[in-house]
Chains A and B, each alone.
Chain A
Amino acid sequence: MNPVATLTDLAAGLTAGDFSSVELIRYYLDRIERLDAHYNSFITVTGELALAQAAAADARLHAGNATPLTGLPIAHKDIFCTRGVRTTCGSRMLDNFIAPYDATAVASLATAGVVMLGKTNMDEFAMGSSCETSFYGPVHNPWDTSRVPGGSSGGSAAAVAAGLTPAATGTDTGGSIRQPAALTGICGLKPTYGAVSRYGMVAFASSLDQGGPMARSVADIALLFDAMAGFDAKDSTSAVRDAADLAAAQGAATSGQRLTIGLPKEYFGVLADTAFARVYDEARRTLEALGHRFVEVSLPHTPFAVPTYYVIASAEASTNLARYDGVRYGYRCAAPTGLTDLYERSRSEGFGREVKRRILTGTYALSVGYFDAYYLKAQRVRRLIRDDFTKAFETVDALLAPTAPGTAFPIGQISDPVEMYQQDVFTVPASLAGIPALAVPCGFHQGLPVGMQLMGAHFNEPRLLALGGAFQRATDWHLRTPNLPG
């Protein structure tokens, strides 16, 4: 078996009877057991459960009522609640937390017959761009284990890149799917806000959080997105899409269509390293050769995106994380002397530094006297950023941009939080605007993978997936693999 096979390959193998789901799952469980010590990409491995699910999937395959995903493995970011399996969110605070329910995204995939291998490592409460803030230790990039895999869905990204799973779920609040995908040479989709239910996803910033798939190929991403997306009555911000909407989106994705693709000058203008920038020139030429046309566009409010994002995301996080108080579940300090002591020590000991920093930032931004200057102003700028995109999509069908400002950096290199936040400079605008963005590997720089980002108008995922798929049929960047041990 090939550790870096795509879901599409594996599905063909299952259908042809080359191997059973149980054999497939054993294969990946064995790899995780032998190799994950190099990457630290899993927090929990659910071997027994996975084999039981695989056996059920095999029965479905035999009975002929399988879906295209039945029997295929997946790893879930440890931010998705999984019934009976602990959900830590990378935090000491939830080290002992076992949810009595599945997240809707998890349940949808399980219904399709996807088998869960385990739960992946992540930045604590999804706050980070390097997977260094996890209570369970940093994740190592398979391309160079001294480097970060990006974050916060770095465990999922590393696991896919290392061939420990063919696919994983991630969540993206300001780039947490796309940036690690880029840094590990895989694909990741941040769907339109509202496309994938947030129910059962531990909340970081409610108005920005979106779950999405991470996998080796855009074709796999499309398969998974199809299973994960859809209206969920349990999430009031979940989008209702009728058949006409879906047909229109599919129509816009007709292959062979010649698209006008925008290159936002505010993104490329800040790329310092010309050799790194040249990777995108090559990607552009590939797409031009496929018949697409490029024009430069301006998204003038881009420079304000990072501060805007950190005000809004931290403000929402500061109240979303108020529930972790040591009273009902999760970490509770030893022998509290009173209520205030219980609160102060449970939260001081249960949360890591970055989480505390954001809670403080967010609390400040919402406080009387500062609310207008920070939160309210950030909401206004958010609207301007969204308007930038709306205006751009009047003239272009999609946007192409870098996913991250550089390649994977060494673990421990960035210690200044504000410098770390700059990792998100190209990903937070789409998050603030709520538009879909697809990260696709598009080359290498100094031996490390580089990713590009395709952004589209709201609910234009089919077009982005068609474009990314066409790119991958013309290139093989996504099939390149790091040197994998054993």
Chain B
Amino acid sequence: MQWESVIGLEIHVQLATRSKIFSGATTAFGAAPNTQACGLDIALPGTLPVLNEAAVRMAVTFGVAIGADISARCVFDRKNYFYPDLPKGYQISQFERPIVGTGRIDLRLDDGATRTIRITRAHLEEDAGKSLHEDFAGMTGIDLNRAGMPLLEIVSEPDLHNAKEAAAYFRQMHTLVRYLGICDGNLNEGSMRCDANVSVRPIGTTTLGERTEIKNLNSFRFLERAIDYEIARQIEVLETGGRIRRETRLYDSDRDETRTMRTKELSDDYRYFPEPDLLPVVIDQEFIATVRSSLPELPHQKRTRYIGALGLSDYAATWLTDDPSVARFFEAVLAACGEAKLAANWVMGDWSAALNRSELHPDASTISAAQLGALIERVRAGTINGKIAKTLFESLWNAADPNRTVDDLIREQGLAQVADTGELAELIRRVIADNPEQAAQFRAGKEKVFGFFVGQIMKATQGRADPLHVNTLLREAFAAT
């Protein structure tokens, strides 16, 4: 039997607010356990939640960006369950009236085509704390720093057909939220996590098969591998006469398999009801219009512009727009040098290699966009050649000093090209005279020897000559003698 898989994702985006969604505690990452949890976060009696306006604005920003309906009046609900890292015994979430309604994104597929993925909804909620099962010998440690972090949960329709598409969708969402400035996108800090609902059915049927949910996937690769594994597992179960149970599974990246976490034969009863400590949130059209008008250029718009207005290749445009920090750097370099293709080549080449080598985030680049732009400009103007430019790039990268200019380096190291035609012509005459044997070979038609002469001249100028210029003058010299 031929099978097809049906996949929907729930992506939890941690919003980049300064304080938590309902308390004034900071959201900074990496503090010592339980040092960033205030009275509300540890659920002391008498404390009350107060909604963070920035979180609302970010959710609306997302909604506007995916063309979704923004709820004019959204409501928070309590989702009740007991767990040690859930201090109040309930999570404040949105159940029946989420802030963002139906929307869509156009997913770019491998073949360059796009397909619309429907977004069911996106709602605001608070994160729980962390249970630490290691290091406490038979006990569990609780860190409530994460309790109350603002989350936007984005739920897609089951419009994804395979693991690759799911990963592409997750990646595209990752790009979008960073463009919107609503999430830092740090997957390894848990800023974006994803649950995948996976089911399979015989091709040609329309009813959905029983699904399983794979929880807490925090990388594109793991998402793809977990779904691939799960699809294969489900097909095997069904083909051997088994039945898929509705359950929650966890992906074990070490063993590359998914395992049952808990079965959901009886659905959980979270006893949702409207949170009486918070009033409904009323969002008027004026607010939505303000958010819409301050929306940044979105990734797909930027890509189209890079191809159309800047004349970059599809590949380069996609590469440069994937990460808004990279796009921002590229645009600053472009502004400084005015050469889109050269700027793109440098950013995708030496700059990106240097970042990788130093394991730095684009925003932490040790060379500034102005420095790189100036460097490119000097190459374009012929002041230095490409080879020297690479050396200078390394100098600037290692110096990590934004006040250092390319021109300072060129002057200090005497690296300006020998551009004086008379000086070069004299040098060429001398090199030809000093190497009569090779000169004879060239004249006899041995074209390869030409490279020898170019090399000799570059050596004599310590690389400061423009190789193209040298070529021209050399040919003129041979022709003249």
Contacts and interface: CB of A to CB of B under 8 A. Distances in A.
Query: Are both chains from one complex?
Result: yes
B229 interface: no
B37 to A, nearest CB: 10
A319 B45 contact: no
Interface in B38-61: 39, 42-51
Contacts of A315: 273
A81 B46 contact: yes
B20 to A, nearest CB: 14
Given A207-B276, A366-B271, A366-B273, A319 B46 contact: no
Interface stretch (A229-237, A257-265, A436-444, A476-484): A229-237
A89 B272 CA distance: 26
Contact of A366 (B51, B80, B142, B277): B80
B84 interface: yes
Of the listed residues A80, A316, A319, A368, the one surrounded by the most CB atoms of chain B closer than 10 A to its CB is A319
B373 interface: no
Interface string B72-93: 0000001010101001111000
B276 A206 contact: yes
Interface residues of B, number: 30
Interface string B86-120: 01111000000000000000000000000000000
Nearest to B44: A99
B46 A236 contact: no
Contact of A328 (B42, B80, B272): B42
Interface string B13-45: 000000000000000000000000001001111
Given A234-B50, A235-B48, A328 B276 contact: no
A323 B89 contact: yes
Contact of A198 (B48, B50, B89, B278): B48
B209 to A, nearest CB: 24
Contact of B89 (A80, A206, A236, A325): A325
Given A234-B50, A363-B271, A367-B269, A81 B45 contact: yes
A94 interface: yes
B273 A328 contact: no
A87 B279 contact: no
A327 B128 CA distance: 15
Contacts of A319: 78, 80, 89-90, 271, 273
B46 A99 contact: yes
A237 B44 contact: no
A371 B77 CA distance: 14
Nearest to A235: B48
B204 to A, nearest CB: 35
Given A319-B271, A329-B42, 4 more contacts: A94-B45, A318-B271, A322-B82, A368-B271
Interface of A: 80-81, 87, 89, 94, 97, 99-101, 103, 198-203, 205-207, 233-237, 315-316, 318-319, 322-323, 325, 327-329, 339, 343, 363, 366-368, 371, 375
7 contacts: A80-B46, A199-B46, A202-B45, A206-B277, A329-B44, A339-B140, A367-B271
